[in-house]
Structures are given as structure tokens and as C-alpha cells.
Chain A
Amino acid sequence: MKNVSRSYGTFKALDDVSIEIHKGEFFSLLGPSGCGKTTLLRSIAGFDTPDEGVIELDGRNIIPYPPEKRLVNTVFQSYALFPHLSVFENIAFPLRLKKEKESTVRDKVAQYLKLVQLSGHEHKKPAMLSGGQKQRVAIARALINEPSVLLLDEPLSALDAKLRQSLLVELDQIHDKIGITFIYVTHDQSEALSVSDRIAVMNEGKVLQTGTPYEIYESPATDFVARFIGETNLFPATVVSCVPFEQTHMSTLQVDALGTEIRVTDDDYLEAGTRVSFTVRPEKLKITSHPPHKVSKNINLFSGIVEEPIYSGFQSKYYVALSSGTIIKVIQQHATYMDEGPAINWKDSVYVSWSAEDGYIVEVIDR
């Protein structure tokens, strides 16, 4: 889609959105509620008409076509199953509209019931199904028309966490099996990261970044993306100096909140005095009770006091107050039992360190 815009009064739901989605891709639209992702999805489905821009499907602008004429089907957030029809008739609905032969309908519905693992439930009414089963019916019903694109509008948001996980994996398997394009709308970054081939992060009607989950997590394009995807420590800083370092550049930043200088590598050369936004993910930080034995120039080292240790089995999260007073988040994975030395407790003095390659300059605020 190119330059798609949509306003409601003065509110810009979609602001010049351009995204290219490849055939067969599992593509996610990720953003907080009200970011425009659902409006975008409804525009693709045909329930909403953009004020400007084109939406092309296989090289043809689909905006003039009504929803029923588009090779696009939707899995609705609230499932939208027809309560007066059985599971079988719900899935058969599109085929009945096309007046398919009874035998064809029977075979196809059976095939798609099997795909979503609901064989044996065909005579139940939707009200008799659990949330997960309803969702499967909705998926089968949307797929039976063999659309070019399947739109999924937060399909798992009404389910509990465990079920969400297993359905997500199943959705991914269905995608692999039938190989059509999936466009998945969600506000849950972990869902998007775990199944998508590529993600577009949206906020306030704009696409902030499009990329693979890895790109979006490791090199967020803006402050918002860095904060929205996963957890992070984010600081405004000023470039003090920048020198070539191996294939990249090593910058020294004066970080206001830390009251000291840190080192970070970045692809671009940055003029001294540039205002930037600097991020380092909590799991990239090391936390130790004693200062590391060997401190290279490329290690940023701080001392601090544990304000809040949060143990959650496979990992611990610490809020560490550095001597400057700034709180920094550290996540320590518990890979090997008791391998990390003595346990770190509340109010312990600790050392927090990270290597210059693990920090990342998110955004140049102004030059």
C-alpha cells in the first residue's frame, strides 16, 4: 500500500502509510491501541475507505471494490461467528453463497475442519464452543475461500495466556501449510516477535519502522520502537567524540542521567555535540558483586545498589540505582544453577557493565 491516509475529523487515523508486504509473508502490524493498525486492516478488508492513497493486491488497486469482491478474508477479534448456524454451516457459508455443490461443500469443510483440528464438532452451535474453538472456526471460515491474504485482527486477545501461546504456534503452522500472506494485527509485541517474518511498528497513524523481528528489537528506529518492543534502558545523550573503530565508529557519549561518559559503537559517524538517544537492553547488562577482573576500554562499568530484585525462575530482573541516582534495569538469565556466584540480594552493592557493541544509538534528536 502506498501513501494511505485516513482522517476522522481532525484525528489522523492513518498518516501517509506506505508498506510493502511480500507474497506468502507472515506480516504483523504492531502498535498500541489507537495507533491506526485496525483502521489499516479494515481498509485492506474493505470496511473503511482511505481518504488518500492506494492499496494494491497483486498489482491491482483494490480500494474501489466492496469487501465481498476482494480476495481478502478476515479473522475478527470477536470471532463474529454466525450464532444461528452450526460450525459446519459457518465454515460452509462462503461456499453456500457461491452455490457450490453439496458434495464439494462437504469435502472442503471437512478438509478445513481437519486443518484447524475441529473434526467432530461440525454440528455444534458457536455458543457451545470454547474461545479457542471459536477462533479455529473463524480461521477455517476465513480460509475456505482460499483468499490471497488472510487478515487477523488481534485474534488471540480474548484468550488466556497459555492458550494464546499454543494457538499462536498453530497459526504459524497453518501459515506454513497453506502458504498465503497473513497480515496479523496485534498490540502484543511478544506475539509479533515470535511469529512474524516482518513487522511494521505503528504509532499515531504512522509506520515508525518496518523490519524483521530481529532488526526491530536490536536496532529500533525510534525511541518509541525501542520502548514498545521489549524492555530497555533509554537515555538522552550528547556526542563528545567519534572515531573510526574496526568497520564502524566508536562514539563517546555524555549521558545526562548518568553524569558520565560511555562508549558505544555505531555505523554512522556522528558530529561532536549531536544530541542522540541511547539505548541498552537489560539482558545485555552484566551484574556482578565484585568488579570484573579485566576492564577493557570498551566496557562501560558502573557501580550501584540493588533497589528491587525480581526473581522469576528462569531469570532475575534487578532495578539498580547507580551512583548518579538513575535507575537502570538489568536482566540476568539463570542458565546454569549457581553459576553466577553468590546470589544478589536487596540493597547489595553491585557492578553493572556492558560492552560498547551492545549499546545502540536509536535516534539522532538534532545535529
Chain B
Amino acid sequence: MKRSSRLGITYAGPMGLWLTIFFLTPLFIIILYSVLKKGLYGGVEGTFSLAAYRQLVNPAFARVLFRTLIVAVTATVITMTLALPCGYAMARSRHQSFFLGLVIVPFWTNSLIRIYAWIAILSSKGFANELLKQLHIIDQSLPLIYNQGAVITVLVYMYIPFAILPLFTTIDSFDFQLLEAARDLGASRFTSITRVLLPNIRSGIITSGVFTFIPIFGAYTVPLLVGGKDSYMIGNIIVDQVTKTRNWPLASAISLIITLISTVGVMWMLMAGAQEKRERSESLRKAGTR
């Protein structure tokens, strides 16, 4: 018993150290900054102040927070809706590694460059508009960029690999014969998916949902580059507070709000995962005692 607990510390040590240095300490600094008085040219002064939290309670901030939630939820739902059939098709395909490669290839290019590529596609003299004009579908450029639609489109594009990968992994370990069994027992193609596939890949759906929602919730480059004047998201406000307004305590307080919302998401994911694991290990234990 003693030996194993000492071993546990040995194994967990490096991981704990890593998390302390790169996660706990910054988090602590943010918490600290959020309750200090703001410095005149950025930074903080050593006096306690709840000014940042008081500034949070204002309609403008609430509006941005609400908009961010709407954008993040919409983009996540669209991403998941697209990722689910993709993951399914990949899992059933004989060319899995090829498709996996396709999903990963975009990561080889810097995300900023990929966003600029989207600007080139969506702008008024961009690829999409020119193509539609060439095909005589439109004669006036459509406003494809600098609006909420462009933000959601590019966010979906950016984060869809993060949704596809966990979905693919769980669907890949799903026993497809269960779908045949469901059909055999009277389920239509659609019901067999909703009644048998989806409940069995729940953990993958949750993981990919969280992996998509959290980064989108904190996104700032995409709304900055392809969004319009009413596309500002929480991430942009934080950047502004740090670089323009130089209100570091407020930036910290807003960051904490994001962290809080993300934490709730992760907790929910972990709880769902733990419940599944508990069910599984319980069943294994019972099967073992037979």
C-alpha cells in the first residue's frame, strides 16, 4: 500500500508540476489581477478593488456575452451536424487513413493564413462572388463577408476537425451490426440511427461538442477578420481591454467568465464520461464474479 502510493506520486509528479506551472499559476495570476486596481498605462496596481466586476454588470457587456453564446451555440450545432455524418462515413470507409489525412491537412497551414484565404473567397470581388457572376446566377456581389454569417461559416470551418476526430474514434469502435439488428427488429434507417447509434456514441458526441464549443466561445481572430461591426465577441473585448483600453483587471475578469463557462462544460463532459465508465466497470465486475 505504501509502495503504491509513493509510486503514484512519482508518476503523477511531472504531470502535476506541468499543470501547476502552466495552468494553475496563470489562472491564479488572472484571479489576482481581476481583483486589483487597474494601472494607468496597463498592468495593475497593488490595491484591492472590485471595480472590474462592477464594470462587468453593464448592458453592453451582457449583449456581447449573449451574442457570443448564440454564435458559439449555432456554430457548434452546425459543426456537429456536419461532423457526425463525416465521422460516420470515415468510420465505415475502407480508406480511413486517407480521410484522416484530409481532416488533419488543414493544420499544416497557419490558422491566420486560412482565415485570410476565406477573406479571399468571401469578399465582394472574391472567388465565390466572381464564380456566381461567371455562372450568371447573380449580377451584383452578395454581402458574403463582414457579417455574422461569415463569422459562423469560418468558425465551423476552423473547428470541424476537432469535432470530426472524437466522433470518428467513437463511431469507429461502434458495432455496426447493431444497426442491422435494429433494422431487422423493425426500425427504419433513421430510427436505427437515433435509437441505437446516437445513444451508443454519446461520449464522442459530448467530447466533440465541448472541443468545438470552448474554442469557439473564446474565438477572437475570426470575428475580428471576417466579422462586421456587430460581430464582436467576448474574445475581442478581452483583447481590446488588454491592448487598447489597457484595463487589465477587466480583461482578467472577463477571462474568468469564459473559464467558468468552459469549466462547467468540461465538468458536464467528465461527469457523463465517468457515469459511462462506472456503468461499464460495474458490469465488468459483476460479469467477473460469476
Q: Interface residues, chain A, CB within 8 Å of chain B?
A: 45-47, 66-68, 72-74, 76, 78, 80-84, 93-94, 97-98, 124-125, 127-130, 141-142, 145
Give the CA-CA distance A98 to B202 in the complex, in Å.
25
Known A-B contacts A83-B200, A128-B283, A130-B290; the reply to A74 vs B182 at CB < 8 A is no
Q: Across the interface, which residues of A come within 8 angstroms of B189, CB to CB?
A: 66
Other than A47-B180, A76-B180, give 16 A-B pairs with Cβ distance below 8 A.
A45-B180, A47-B184, A66-B188, A67-B180, A68-B186, A73-B184, A76-B181, A83-B178, A84-B199, A97-B186, A97-B191, A125-B279, A128-B287, A130-B290, A141-B185, A145-B185
Give the CA-CA distance A41 to B92 in the complex, in Å.
22
Are A67 and B183 in contact, with the CB atoms below 8 A? yes
Q: Across the interface, which residues of A come within 8 angstroms of B199, CB to CB?
A: 84
Are B184 and A74 in contact, with the CB atoms below 8 A? yes
Give the CA-CA distance A81 to B182 in the complex, in Å.
9
Give the CA-CA distance A93 to B185 in the complex, in Å.
8
A262 to chain B, nearest CB (A): 51
Q: Which residue of B lies closest to A66 (CB)?
A: B183
Give the CA-CA distance A124 to B181 in the complex, in Å.
20
Q: Across the interface, which residues of B come within 8 angstroms of A97, CB to CB?
A: 185-187, 191, 195
* The one of B187, B188, B196, B283 that contacts A125, using a Cβ cutoff of 8 Å: B283
Q: Which residue of A lies closest to B174 (CB)?
A: A83
Q: Across the interface, which residues of B come within 8 angstroms of A68, CB to CB?
A: 183-188
Q: Across the interface, which residues of A come within 8 angstroms of B188, CB to CB?
A: 66, 68
Give the CA-CA distance A79 to B187 in the complex, in Å.
17
Q: Across the interface, which residues of B come within 8 angstroms of A141, CB to CB?
A: 185
A88 to chain B, nearest CB (A): 15
Are B185 and A94 in contact, with the CB atoms below 8 A? yes
Give the CA-CA distance A66 to B180 in the complex, in Å.
11
Known A-B contacts A98-B186, A127-B280; the reply to A80 vs B181 at CB < 8 A is yes
For the complex, is B10 an interface residue (Cβ under 8 Å from A)?
no
* The one of B191, B200, B290 that contacts A84, using a Cβ cutoff of 8 Å: B200
Q: Across the interface, which residues of B come within 8 angstroms of A125, CB to CB?
A: 279, 283
Known A-B contacts A45-B184, A67-B183, A84-B200; the reply to A78 vs B175 at CB < 8 A is yes
B119 to chain A, nearest CB (A): 45
Are B186 and A145 in contact, with the CB atoms below 8 A? yes
A-B contact pairs, 14 of them (CB 8 A): A45-B180, A45-B184, A46-B184, A68-B184, A74-B181, A74-B184, A81-B181, A82-B182, A93-B185, A93-B195, A97-B185, A128-B287, A129-B287, A142-B184
* The one of A67, A72, A78 that contacts B177, using a Cβ cutoff of 8 Å: A78
Q: Count residues on chain B whose CB falls below 8 Å from chain A CBs.
A: 26
A112 to chain B, nearest CB (A): 13
Give the CA-CA distance A84 to B196 in the complex, in Å.
8
| Pairs of residues from A and B, 9 with the lowest C-beta to C-beta distance, nearest first | A127-B283, A80-B181, A67-B183, A94-B185, A128-B283, A84-B199, A80-B177, A128-B286, A97-B186
Q: Across the interface, which residues of B come within 8 angstroms of A78, CB to CB?
A: 175, 177
B245 to chain A, nearest CB (A): 51
For the complex, is B284 an interface residue (Cβ under 8 Å from A)?
yes
Known A-B contacts A45-B184, A74-B184, A142-B185; the reply to A82 vs B286 at CB < 8 A is no
B265 to chain A, nearest CB (A): 23
Q: Across the interface, which residues of A come within 8 angstroms of B186, CB to CB?
A: 68, 94, 97-98, 145
Give the CA-CA distance A69 to B268 in the complex, in Å.
40
Q: C-beta contact mask, B147-179 vs A, less than 8 Å → 1, else 0?
A: 000000000000000000000000000010110
Q: Which residue of A lies closest to B176 (CB)?
A: A80
Q: Which residue of A lies closest to B196 (CB)?
A: A82
Which of A72, A82, A142 has most chain B Cβ within 10 Å?
Answer: A82
A119 to chain B, nearest CB (A): 18
Give the CA-CA distance A129 to B200 in the complex, in Å.
18
Give the CA-CA distance A84 to B283 in the complex, in Å.
12
